[in-house]
Chains A and B, each alone.
Chain A
């Protein structure tokens, strides 16, 4: 069985000195995955990125193909073939191989990564485990009432952001999807919407809000349960609510009145909720509140996902294993246990004895025990740039950048799959190429037909 046989679309050739325009290109910088970008390319440089936000412009315009070897072994330049052989040898020798990252890689490559992990009885995990993993767990507890971003644009007349700062993290969120668009049932755009922002600090997004509610740090859960109680008509002690949440009771009851009165409410939530005290219990409270609100009006919730294709990673890992992240195959079949099979844990617990890191940088952002352990085990790293993780890798591959040099598919934060239109070719192989080559060798070593 071959896996992920769909070939990524190759970019059209660039003629030296001539301008090439790519219409409807897709920006993979954040979870908004805007697919209306017009790129102008000259001599393997993007010189214009129309409609892209500040982050998108920086993503496209600063992109250059790094002049470094496509493969290094123990820091020394090596041929790709040598790299593939060594990678396969590392992955098949280990007793507890792990694979992590994936959220800045197209689905086609993610599928091959999951295949490799299956063949080597390894553990697969994605960056979801350190961002919206708690939301995934909360989802397994209560479910989720949600919608696609076009529904928000066409119907959302009350938009809440909770622990999320899209003005800085998702700059086109307001203009393309959530606040400014003139939608089918909101002909006046922003004027037809109420925007509420709940956060522990006055973020740059707060300026966009009609109502900004600053709650006490680490009190998201209490604030959400205050709203749940109000939604159900349960009497509360106003002083206690004020003390616990740091916000006057009247503010919450006014908010609930508005929530009940709107036609289609939307709550976008971010890591300010999922990665603070309470974690998945916070997400669960928010998802439950959203569900409760459907007894009064239509209400939906949506995590504001960060990485360009983290949603694709959730989907690919789920359809192949049945679980979204943190999946262990040591027994030959998938098992799921966040906190045990998630990468920060397999490293910090010193269980993993080899690794493959794809489009992620744990050496820069994991806990010290995790980093220390990673430094002691042989691992493979695939990244477009040189990072602390690639620098300490046994085998490092410099790969082409998805959406700029290679095609494929990414899933927007609302699970809408979008194709990529690459701008120009890279001398480096794609994630898909590297992983496919490694998979072939792994299968050969293991005698898999």
Chain B
């Protein structure tokens, strides 16, 4: 009999916030892709030992909000050849495919870059259900990480129709049916109701939570509240992921606060909240200012609410959104090329190139507002690191954000390069807080895992997926985090010091909650009346998932 094929990470300085381990020297044993107890028999030796003495060990990073696959991302790749030729190139090697970078990297490049950064799981935040098959096809070409996606449903006609007719049982069944059919992970609301109005008239949008959506007569508030309640009743691992109405507009903080209130105490995640925390009035940029404080006070006193930031970084990127009217607005602001696509019964999309400049007061404020969010939320389990890749900047900027959070001098040095008026319009200069490594581990892995309901990720306890990142400590935290010493995915060493050693395709995380199957007849009748494809050709079957991983509901089913 041969002994089990253990891997041991020996004597690392371990940060595992979920299990209360804050920088303690530990051994971690891995078997068959999972963290296990040290063997009871002390004579058992690991077949592979990674000496981590003096190194920092954390669970693999989790990006809970990025745009990395599907129709919108792929259109952006096609649309922006100009930024690729002059940028970093990704030649093929004997174990990796070639790729292209720019603000929207190709699929293989995306997987390799996430892994090399120590991230082992990522969620695409906005997939139109009818294009779910496309997202899964790209996922299979996005190696080295586990992935999942959120399903756009804030402007779905069946959702609005069920609310209009006051049929919550249909709404609940529909959400479960849609997630199951698309092999998606969570319900996503993008400018709920507003995209439908955009589809029906010139420059159409809703103005606030209580504007009625044409034809359906429902309000954004009803959509938010209704979906949050249905998701809670379905006990989804990640109940509802909300891109609020009025993104980017001066004065939108009130809409954001109303959205939090509309959750009625149900769990809800407000995404890229930086873009939704603006004071000022009537679309007037001259009055633009930070309203993080009143919003953060609400979050600090409401544990049902979590947020990710959507940090803006200075530089050139591509704005991409399921928020059609926002895309139109941005294209008018920046005047560059503009892509918009309306998807039948479901959603919209807007894409335009964008450049954030530190000399622009508005852009500098956006940057500062993002950092205020990280630094003002009291409980780090309620706030998650994101750039809304590529909207605020690339996921490759995470190490720089970590430095901003852990080094107030560096933060202030950059602040000094911004227009001085920023000091009157945000509180960033006055904030002394610096994050600890344990807090960084919370906002980049343990926190998102908890918010997403992923029990096997974001920690290093027994039973956890052996997705582990080992860093070389450095005074400059950007240097420390931008090139991990070792990255382990499912127990295998994929990256050493930035070099890919081995690749794998990774799992697709999705949900399949139980629902009232009788409602399917009603859904089918509606579907066949209005869709341009056949009912039976809509659901994505398991053959499209390289490795399926069903995440149980919070009831455990």
* Residues of A that sit less than 8 Å from B by CB: 1-7, 9, 23-24, 26, 35-36, 107, 111, 115, 118-119, 121, 136, 139-151, 153-155, 176-177, 183-185, 263-264, 291, 294-298, 300, 314-316, 318-324, 329, 331-336, 409, 411-412, 415-419, 446-449
Given A6-B140, A26-B537, A334-B99: A145 in contact with B532 (beta carbons within 8 A) = no
B90 adjacent to A5 (CB under 8 Å) = no
Q: Smallest Cβ distance from A411 to chain B, in angstroms?
A: 7
Considering only CB atoms and an 8 Å cut-off, how many residues of chain B contact the other chain? Answer: 76
B107 adjacent to A417 (CB under 8 Å) = no
User: Which are the 8 A-B pairs with shortest beta-carbon distances?
Assistant: A150-B344, A322-B100, A332-B91, A150-B532, A143-B337, A147-B342, A417-B133, A143-B338
A263 adjacent to B200 (CB under 8 Å) = yes
* Residues of B that sit less than 8 Å from A by CB: 69, 71, 73-74, 77-82, 84-85, 89-92, 94-102, 104-109, 130-131, 133-134, 137-138, 140-141, 143, 157, 199-204, 215, 328, 331, 336-345, 351-352, 503, 505, 530-537, 541, 543-544, 546
Q: Smallest Cβ distance from A257 to chain B, in angstroms?
A: 16
Q: List 7 A-B contacts (CB under 8 A).
A: A6-B140, A298-B202, A318-B77, A321-B99, A322-B77, A322-B104, A417-B134
A329 adjacent to B92 (CB under 8 Å) = yes
A155 adjacent to B199 (CB under 8 Å) = yes
For residue A263, which residues in chain B have a CB less than 8 angstroms away from its CB? Answer: 200-201
Bound Cα distance from A447 to B342, whole angstroms: 46
Q: Smallest Cβ distance from B5 to chain A, in angstroms?
A: 20
A336 adjacent to B81 (CB under 8 Å) = yes
A419 adjacent to B137 (CB under 8 Å) = no
Residue of A nearest to B95 (CB): A449
Bound Cα distance from A177 to B535, whole angstroms: 16
Bound Cα distance from A141 to B328, whole angstroms: 17
For residue B81, which residues in chain A have a CB less than 8 angstroms away from its CB? Answer: 140, 322-323, 336
Q: Which of A144, A148, A298 contacts B344 (CB 8 A)?
A: A148
Given A145-B339, A331-B91: A35 in contact with B77 (beta carbons within 8 A) = no
For residue B73, which residues in chain A have a CB less than 8 angstroms away from its CB? Answer: 319
Residue of A nearest to B532 (CB): A150
Q: Which of A119, A329, A416 contacts B533 (CB 8 A)?
A: A416
Q: Smallest Cβ distance from A228 to chain B, in angstroms?
A: 15
Q: Smallest Cβ distance from A91 to chain B, in angstroms?
A: 15
Q: Smallest Cβ distance from A173 to chain B, in angstroms?
A: 12
A298 adjacent to B532 (CB under 8 Å) = no
Residue of A nearest to B352 (CB): A143
Residue of B nearest to A291 (CB): B338
A177 adjacent to B343 (CB under 8 Å) = no
A140 adjacent to B140 (CB under 8 Å) = no
A319 adjacent to B141 (CB under 8 Å) = yes
For residue B80, which residues in chain A have a CB less than 8 angstroms away from its CB? Answer: 140
Residue of B nearest to A141 (CB): B337
Q: Which of A146, A294, A333, A419 contacts B99 (CB 8 A)?
A: A333
B98 adjacent to A332 (CB under 8 Å) = yes
B74 adjacent to A315 (CB under 8 Å) = yes
Bound Cα distance from A145 to B503, whole angstroms: 38
A147 adjacent to B343 (CB under 8 Å) = yes
Bound Cα distance from A6 to B200, whole angstroms: 39
Bound Cα distance from A336 to B541, whole angstroms: 34
Q: Which of B102, B131, B215 contacts A417 (CB 8 A)?
A: B131
Bound Cα distance from A369 to B85, whole angstroms: 30
Bound Cα distance from A144 to B104, whole angstroms: 18
Bound Cα distance from A183 to B203, whole angstroms: 22
For residue A142, which residues in chain B have a CB less than 8 angstroms away from its CB? Answer: 337-338
Bound Cα distance from A207 to B101, whole angstroms: 48
B343 adjacent to A184 (CB under 8 Å) = no
Given A35-B537, A147-B343, A322-B102: A449 in contact with B94 (beta carbons within 8 A) = yes
B106 adjacent to A320 (CB under 8 Å) = yes
Residue of B nearest to A33 (CB): B533
Given A5-B505, A150-B344: A333 in contact with B91 (beta carbons within 8 A) = yes
B140 adjacent to A9 (CB under 8 Å) = no
B339 adjacent to A150 (CB under 8 Å) = no
B134 adjacent to A148 (CB under 8 Å) = no
